[in-house]
Structure 1
């Protein structure tokens, strides 16, 4: 389907005129999604376009040169897509397809859902204590609750046995983690939504040992 390429794109026009090298510039689209652009002034082709989660590279000329190695080398935590050598007009068409540019181009930080996109399914094969630390630290850094895993035991090899997940409050009390959060981590549900809806009722939790981060154990062997 042909997209309207006459949509006003003042941010893209400004970026095209002044360039961004050696850094990048970010645009928020009308639907709230984000993209980053790296390019030289008045170039017809952008060196790189990074599509944050929520944006998909169109199956059309100009978007075929994707670079998964860039994600690997930079440790991309968002789970977006790097596209190389993208024509400016192809970027303009993508912006038009998402309703144009957003009127508010301030505070262009990714939302929590964008920052944590790659954690969906992170526990799908059964997490170890390192997986727990990685996922829960990222959630907390993104402004989410301080989640913990309480394991059956800890020994010289680490944590093991059965496990249960809780949210620990600043006062040291523990609360239930709602099922849809764990379903998301297991790859069975979409992003759980606002952090305020991630936790439930207070529950008593007993443990003997902790790694001082997100792993606790009921007993130590």
Structure 2
């Protein structure tokens, strides 16, 4: 990857895109664009999935070779922070900085949408 501007070309409008919250569609839109721009697969792991969709608490992770890594760097704050707040990073940092320590479990969700959303408890069973 050359420099951050080249890698995330066309993603500047994602800064603060989740400040008012997010759902699975928002996650797929933002994470698909980031994946297309830099090749890194991000996922949102939700607490539950049922007839109404995903729900409960959620966290963002980086998926590398079917192994989850905690999200590091400035990406979470860049996506979820208020763009008017001076403490919100102007850039999300380099994609390499987003790969935090390995999560406790391998990628084996009870449900996934085939894109960027996973759930650890499928309540439809």
Counterparts of 1:179 and 1:194, CA distance in 2: 8
Q: Quick one: which of 118, 135, 140 aligns to 2:30?
A: 135
* SS of equivalent to 2:120: strand
**Structure 2 residue 120 is matched with structure 1 residue 218:** yes
Aligned length: 111
Question: Structure 1 stretch 187-196 or stretch 211-220: which is displaced more?
Answer: 187-196
For normalisation by structure 1, the TM-score amounts to 0.47
Q: CA deviation at 1:179?
A: 4.6
Long gaps (5+) in structure 1:
1-109
2:109 aligned residue (189, 200, 207): 207
Runs (5+) with no aligned partner, structure 2: 82-87
Give 1 or 2: higher strand fraction. 2
SS state at 1:166 partner: strand
TM-score when scaled to structure 2?
0.81
Cα root mean square deviation, aligned = 1.6
SS at match of 1:127: coil
1:173 aligns with 2:67: yes
CA distance in 1, matches of 2:104, 2:115: 19
Give me the whole-angstrom Cα distance separating, in 2, the residues matched to 1:190 and 1:168. 24
Bigger Rg over Cα:
1
Asked whether the equivalents of residues 113 and 191 of structure 1 are also in contact (C-alpha less than 8 Å), the reply is no
